[in-house]
Amino acid sequence: MKLGSIACAAALLLAACTTTAPELEPIPGSITYGGQPRTKLTKAPVGSIVPHQFFTQGGLARETYVIQPDRSLKLIRRHIDYDFITRHSRR
């Protein structure tokens, strides 16, 4: 009985947790900057990952998108390597 009440309390605590991170906003150079692209990705399955990289102010931005059920792109990850240009200009 005690174990059941502990499990129930743990389940309630976990249900109260929210792990939603704030949405990433597109920056100049992002695929979705200025809105969704006009062309839809009709052949790629829903949930497919779309990588994208571009140069931004002082670094190389690497973004990851996922294709949504309505065929729009959702930006889920971005990493900007600010040392990319300095590391590769020494060669």
Q: How far apart are CA 35 and CA 12, in angstroms?
A: 39
Report yes or no on 31 lying in a domain: no
Report yes or no on 71 lying in a domain: yes
Report yes or no on 47 lying in a domain: yes
Report yes or no on 3 lying in a domain: no
Provide the residue type at 60 as one letter: L
Domain that holds residue 50: 39-91
**pLDDT tens figures, 15-57:** 655 556 678 999 999 999 999 998 888 889 999 999 999 999 8
Report yes or no on 13 lying in a domain: no
Give residue 86's pLDDT band: very low, low, confident or very high (50, 70, 90): confident
Report yes or no on 5 lying in a domain: no
Place of tokens 């390597």: 81
Q: Where are the alpha helices (DSSP H) in 1-91?
A: 2-16, 84-89
Q: How many domains does the chain have?
A: 1
Report yes or no on 69 lying in a domain: yes
Report yes or no on 6 lying in a domain: no
